[in-house]
Amino acid sequence: MKSLQDKVAIITGASRGIGAEIAKTTAQAGASVVINYTNNRSAADLVVSEIKSLGGNAIPVRANVSNSIEVKALFDAAITHFGKIDILINNAGTAIFKAIQDTSDEELDRIFAINVKGTFYCLRESATLLSNGGRIINISSSVTRLILPAYGAYAATKGAVEQLTRVFAKEMGSRGITVNSISPGPTNTELFLEGKSEETIQRLAAMSALGRIGETEDIAKVVLFLASEGAAWVTGQNIGVNGGIA
């Protein structure tokens, strides 16, 4: 039997990049998957199509995670279609790369709304709607360890995600629900590569103990483990999935 057979997973921000890879990996492991997206319906439809072509089950659901009403509708849609929710993967996020002194109020509000409030709203819904024995995986970032200039606002949001993970693990433990976060390092996605020179990419790769940047499959495999029964005794943890970069 596949490790996630008969499970239902919501994956936020799943229309591309790491989220799309996680969606395909969990579907291949037997889960029915809710592909959350905000604007790019065609990309979400493509992920759904790829999953179905391999015999999996998935639906696209639009929701802006920074809006609590839309998050509630996302969870309601999952239950209406699949009857339950077993796994929540909080992947949706955005980034800005500016010195703190150059970051505007509007930019700060937007990144906190998506990265922190979005995670918080999804956790709040899952508190009552996730099945007993469920799994929650939040996506943080290795920038909380690397302490890089121009990452102040982004690192602040991901630090908040890690603290929410630890607190929520204590709150949900009585129901057998595990809550963990992972911290990817530089990963080969369209978003990460945008605006970076080959020299910059190679410099980041050299910082890894394994001498390369990550692939989306590297991240998805760890998420799959945390979502499985094999990780039932792992909760409240943040795991670096970064090739030893930090």
DSSP state of 188: -
Q: pLDDT at position 238, please?
A: 98
Kindly report, residue by residue over 46-73, the tens digit of the pLDDT: 999 999 999 999 999 999 999 999 999 9
DSSP line for 15-78? SSHHHHHHHHHHHHTT-EEEEEESS-HHHHHHHHHHHHHTT-EEEEEE--TTSHHHHHHHHHHH
Fold of 8-185+216-241: Rossmann fold (3.40.50)
Of 2-16, 117-131, 197-211, 231-245, give the lowest mean pLDDT range. Answer: 197-211
Q: pLDDT at position 196, please?
A: 84
Tell whether the model's pLDDT for residue 234 goes beyond 90: yes
Q: What are the domain boundaries of the chain?
A: 8-185+216-241
Beta bridge partners of 184: 241
* Rounded distance between C-alpha atoms, residue 110 and residue 38, angstroms: 14
Mean pLDDT of the chain: 97
Tell whether the model's pLDDT for residue 101 goes beyond 80: yes
Tell whether the model's pLDDT for residue 81 goes beyond 90: yes
* Rounded distance between C-alpha atoms, residue 160 and residue 67, angstroms: 18
What pTM was estimated for this model as a whole?
A: 0.97
Tokens of 95: 């980034």
Tell whether the model's pLDDT for residue 32 goes beyond 90: yes
Tell whether the model's pLDDT for residue 127 goes beyond 90: yes
Kindly report, residue by residue over 132-166, the tens digit of the pLDDT: 999 999 999 999 999 999 999 999 999 999 999 99
Tell whether the model's pLDDT for residue 1 goes beyond 80: no
Per-residue pLDDT band for 82 (boundaries 50, 70, 90) equals very high
Which residues have a catalytic role annotated? 154
